[in-house]
Amino acid sequence: MARVSRTQPPLKEPGTVSNPFVEEIKRLINACPKTQTEIAFEIGYGNQNLITMFKRGVTRVPEDKIVPLATALGADAPRLVRLWCSVYSPKILAVIEGMMRNTVLSAQELSWIEGLREEYGEDHVPMFLRRLIKRAPASVG
């Protein structure tokens, strides 16, 4: 009988992994009109087994498959990459966001966008901005 290290976390049953990335992948795959086989072929796999494993959280989506998977699922690739990094590489995400904040957005712009994300959720910020633009007077801009 093999000895199990006391420091090793117990394995979880498939489907019990609870993390935002896995939940989003599961939601996107379930909402996608394509079969898992079609998704698999689009991202370079020969069958749907890995797609099922991604969906259950049994296997991590490799870094080089996040964007192709997002494209196949019709999802926002930058958002999915950010979500993946927040779960699996939060330190790298912090470095990237730190660099991007300093070169792309002013502190004031960043605080406004973060406030919108907190208030409306990341998925609803673009919808909110579209509503805001429609309501803005024609002289603004």
pLDDT higher at 40 or 8? 40
Could you read off the pLDDT of 39-86 as tens digits, one per residue? 999 999 999 999 999 999 999 999 999 999 999 999 988 889 889 998
In the prediction, which pLDDT does 28 show? Answer: 96
List the domain boundaries for the chain. 14-89, 105-141
Does the structure show a pLDDT above 60 at 11? no
Tokens 């259950």 correspond to what residue? 56
* Secondary structure E strands in the chain: none
Please list, in sequence order, all residues whose beta carbon lies within 8 angstroms of the beta carbon of residue 47, skipping any fewer than 6 positions away. Answer: 37, 40
Domain 14-89 has CATH 1.10.260.40: yes
Please list, in sequence order, all residues whose beta carbon lies within 8 angstroms of the beta carbon of residue 111, skipping any fewer than 6 positions away. Answer: none
Query: Residue 2: in which H helix or E strand, if any?
Result: none
Q: HSE, CB side, 13 Å, CA atoms: give it for residue 36.
A: 15
Could you read off the pLDDT of 94-130 as tens digits, one per residue? 888 887 765 545 567 778 878 877 877 766 666 666 6
